[in-house]
Amino acid sequence: MKKHAITCFTAAVFFLFNSCATNPVTGRREVSLMSEQQEIAMGQQADPAIIAQFGLYEDPALQRFISEKGQAMAAVSHRSNLNYEFKVVDSPVINAFAVPGGYVYFTRGIMAHFNNEAQFAGVLGHEIGHIAARHSAQQQSKSILAQVGLIAGMVLAPQLAQLGDAASQGLGLLFLKFGRDDERESDRLGVEYSSKIGYDASEMADFFLTLQRKQEDGDQAVPSFLSTHPNPADRYETVHELAAEWKQQLNLTNAQVNRNNYLKLIDGIIYGEDPKQGFVENNTFYHPELRFSFPIPRGWEHMNSPQQFQMVAPDGKAMMMLTLAPGETLEAAAQQLLQNYGLQPSESRSVTVNGLPALAIVADQQAQQGQQQQQQPLRALIYLIQYGGNIYSMIGVSSPGDFNSYAQTFTATMQNFSELTEPDKLNRQPTRIKIQTAQQAATLQQLFQQYQVPQARMEELAVLNGLQLSDRVERGTMIKVLTSY
């Protein structure tokens, strides 16, 4: 036993030693189970899935802007050898993220909330910093080392498995959350990189205040992972100090902010949900382009994307999802869906949903090979509805023990899927940012009143402008308001 233990220990040390790599930013040796080629391959594989999930935002000027600035900044980064790609994705969420191998994504939601090029550049540098410092590769290495612990966790909490691919996606996202030390390092790199291409990096600190205000308002458009970031007040002070140091080091006497140029660039950008992708109003989901609607259970959280619409019960014990189902017939769609998700049907019947042909199926998740017998599977109610040349899949999922409690809620939503005919919903236009120039000096609130901004949205728009309602705005200053056209 002792000899065996020594052999294992020696092998482990040899494995770790040969798994070390030099961090491009710090120059230190660290354990890494992923090569640079593996990072690149991971990014190449993730990119199509990310674009399919969110869609690219259709604005050539904006896409050209992020690509040009991104390439300029990548050239001064610690990993300029990578082939970087920079894209604006079509999501209202305030977010920017990077995946290994040089892929960086900004949502139109975060682009709408920047108030100058320097704020954008600071966050861009922050995301490039995650790639340069190999934070994603480190997280992936940790996930491999923790694999045994994860398997144990899945046995103890089988509800995490949900349905097939959803489990893998969820676990993947778990390890893309960076720790506070990684975020601090990326803040530092964001200041360095944005300063090196001539921007005033202190502006990034002001954007942190915008994020803080959005979080304090409980805005759902701010992703929950921001809770892993350092305290915004601490970041504000640190970034200002670092920016001052880099200005002195680079003798940057004319650091660029470029407020007006940036505001002109985002004039007309869609703000909030884009109705053509579907929108929620009065506990109902409407999709004007596909011309359907269905109710959302009261109190359930929901999330929309080009690929699917998800709803989650307040207690987290049940979820529903609508997607398009492949297949020429309801029966073919049912067979493929059950196979994809590893479901075994216990009931299946033909029904009509507001005059539309449909299949209603109750199915259980099949035990996977090697799965412990005591692990509790999931139960699903599935409605496949044929309408408008498409087959729609509506799936409600819970544990078998909770299924009867939620079955009526699932059914009420699915049986009320219907054709959308209301002109008001079919012709709904998106809300867009409109840039106005103050014709006279006034407070921001007074200007909002002149532009007929509703009182209930004034604070929201003040945050959008990075200002307080009481702030004085000088004549000739550009500000953001909202319009629909």
Inside any domain, residue 13: no
Q: Which long-range contacts (CB under 8 A, 24 or more apart) does 21-26 make?
A: 21/134, 23/133, 23/134, 24/78, 24/79, 24/132, 24/133, 24/134, 25/78, 25/129, 25/132, 25/133, 25/185, 25/189, 26/133
CA dihedral 10, 11, 13, 16 (to 10 degrees): 180
Inside any domain, residue 9: no
How far is 129 from 127, CA to CA, in rounded Å? 5
- 208 plus 224 within the same structural domain: yes
To the question of pTM greater than 0.95 for the whole model, the response is no
Inside any domain, residue 14: no
Among residues 215, 239, 265, the one where a domain terminates is 265
Inside any domain, residue 45: yes
Strand ranges (E), 282-439: 284-287, 292-295, 301-304, 308-312, 318-324, 343-353, 356-365, 379-387, 390-398, 418-419, 431-437
Among residues 265, 298, 315, the one where a domain terminates is 265
Q: In this structure, what are the phi and psi dihedrals at residue 437, rounded to the nearest 5 degrees?
A: -110, 125
Inside any domain, residue 143: yes
Q: What tens-digit pLDDT sequence spans the chain (485 residues)?
A: 444 444 444 443 344 344 445 566 655 555 455 677 888 888 888 898 889 888 999 999 999 999 999 999 999 999 999 999 999 999 998 989 888 899 999 999 999 999 999 999 999 999 999 999 887 665 543 433 333 233 222 222 233 234 433 333 333 333 345 667 778 888 999 999 999 999 999 999 999 888 888 877 766 555 543 444 556 567 888 999 999 999 999 999 999 999 999 999 999 999 998 999 999 999 999 999 999 999 999 999 998 888 889 999 998 899 999 999 999 999 999 999 999 888 999 999 999 999 999 999 999 986 555 544 445 689 999 999 999 999 999 999 999 999 999 999 999 999 999 999 999 999 999 999 999 999 999 999 999 999 999 999 999 999 999 999 999 999 999 999 999 85
- 220 plus 314 within the same structural domain: no
- 236 plus 192 within the same structural domain: yes
- 206 plus 289 within the same structural domain: no
Residue 386 is which amino acid? Answer: Q
- 335 plus 472 within the same structural domain: no
Domain with 403 in it: what CATH number?
3.40.1000.10
Residue among 127, 83, 81, 122 at smallest CA distance from 104: 127
Inside any domain, residue 215: yes
- 151 plus 259 within the same structural domain: yes
- 382 plus 244 within the same structural domain: no
The set of residues, in sequence order, having a beta carbon less than 8 Å from that of 424 and lying 6+ positions away, is none
- 201 plus 346 within the same structural domain: no
Inside any domain, residue 10: no
Range of the domain at 219: 20-265
- 25 plus 164 within the same structural domain: yes
Among residues 387, 407, 426, the one where a domain terminates is 426
Dihedral sign for Cα 48, 50, 51, 56, please. negative
Counting the structural domains of the chain, the total is 3
CB 426 within 8 A of CB 290: no
- 129 plus 115 within the same structural domain: yes
- 177 plus 223 within the same structural domain: yes
- 329 plus 442 within the same structural domain: no
